[in-house]
Homo-oligomer: A and B are copies of this chain.
Amino acid sequence: MHDAIDATHSDDPATLTATLALGRIRAGTLTVEALASACLARVESREPTVRAWAFVGSAIVIEQARELDRLASLGRFGAPHGLPIGVKDVMLTRDMPTQYNAEVYRGFHPRLDAACVATLRAAGALIFGKTETVEFAATGRPAQTRNPHDLARTPGGSSSGSAAAVADFHVPLALGTQTGGSMVRPASFCGVYAMKPTWNLVSREGVKTCSISLDPVGWFARSAADLALLHDVFEPEPDRRSAPAPFALAGARIGLCRSPVWPAASLDTRHATERAASLLREAGADVSDLDLPRPFDDLVDLQRIVMRAEGQGAFLAEYRTFGTALTESFREQVENVDRTTRAQLLHAYDTASACRSVFDRIAAPFDAVLTPSTVGVAPEGLAATGAMTFNAMWSLLHVPAINVPGLQGSNGMPIGLTLTGPRFSDRHLLAVAASLGALLARERA
Given the known A-B contacts A204-B212, A350-B356, are A321 and B122 also in contact in the complex, defined by CB atoms under 8 Å?
Answer: yes
Binary interface encoding of chain A residues 130-173 relative to chain B, with 1 for a CB under 8 A from any of its CBs, else 0: 00000000000000000000000000000000000000000000
Complex contact A317–B353 (CB within 8 A): no
Q: How many identical subunits does the complex contain?
A: 2
Distance in angstroms between the alpha carbons of A123 and B121 in the assembled complex: 37
- Contact residue among B111, B113, B234, B342 (Cβ-Cβ distance under 8 Å from A424): B342
Which A residues, 208 to 256, have Cβ-Cβ distances below 8 Å to chain B?
208-209, 212-213, 234, 236-237
How far in angstroms is the closest Cβ of chain B from A158? 17
- Contact residue among B202, B317, B335 (Cβ-Cβ distance under 8 Å from A122): B317
Distance in angstroms between the alpha carbons of A123 and B237 in the assembled complex: 44
Inter-chain contacts of A122 with B (CB < 8 A) = 317, 320-321
Can you offer 28 A-B residue contacts whose CB atoms are under 8 A? A94-B110, A110-B112, A111-B111, A113-B317, A115-B316, A116-B317, A118-B317, A118-B321, A121-B321, A122-B321, A200-B212, A200-B310, A203-B313, A203-B317, A204-B212, A205-B209, A205-B314, A212-B212, A236-B313, A236-B316, A237-B312, A237-B336, A342-B423, A342-B424, A346-B357, A349-B353, A350-B357, A354-B354
Inter-chain contacts of A320 with B (CB < 8 A) = 118-119, 122-123
How far in angstroms is the closest Cβ of chain B from A105? 10
Inter-chain contacts of A310 with B (CB < 8 A) = 200
Distance in angstroms between the alpha carbons of A113 and B317 in the assembled complex: 10
Binary interface encoding of chain A residues 374-411 relative to chain B, with 1 for a CB under 8 A from any of its CBs, else 0: 00000000000000000000000000000000000000
How far in angstroms is the closest Cβ of chain B from A136? 11
Distance in angstroms between the alpha carbons of A90 and B312 in the assembled complex: 23
Inter-chain contacts of A346 with B (CB < 8 A) = 357, 360, 423-424
Distance in angstroms between the alpha carbons of A29 and B204 in the assembled complex: 45
Residues of chain A whose beta carbon lies under 8 Å from any beta carbon of chain B: 94, 108, 110-113, 115-116, 118-119, 121-123, 200-205, 208-209, 212-213, 234, 236-237, 310, 312-314, 316-317, 319-321, 334-336, 342, 346, 349-350, 353-354, 356-357, 360, 423-424
Inter-chain contacts of A205 with B (CB < 8 A) = 208-209, 314, 317
Of all A-B residue pairs in the complex, the 3 with the closest CB atoms, nearest first, are: A353-B353, A122-B320, A110-B112
A208, A236, A310, A312 pick with most chain B CB within 10 angstroms: A236
- Contact residue among B118, B212, B350 (Cβ-Cβ distance under 8 Å from A353): B350
- Contact residue among B203, B234, B424 (Cβ-Cβ distance under 8 Å from A209): B203
* CB closest chain-B residue, reference A208: B205
Given the known A-B contacts A205-B209, A208-B205, are A115 and B350 also in contact in the complex, defined by CB atoms under 8 Å?
Answer: no
Distance in angstroms between the alpha carbons of A346 and B118 in the assembled complex: 27
Inter-chain contacts of A423 with B (CB < 8 A) = 342, 346
Distance in angstroms between the alpha carbons of A334 and B121 in the assembled complex: 18
How far in angstroms is the closest Cβ of chain B from A442? 34
A112, A317, A334 pick with most chain B CB within 10 angstroms: A317
Inter-chain contacts of A354 with B (CB < 8 A) = 353-354
Inter-chain contacts of A342 with B (CB < 8 A) = 423-424
Distance in angstroms between the alpha carbons of A208 and B353 in the assembled complex: 25
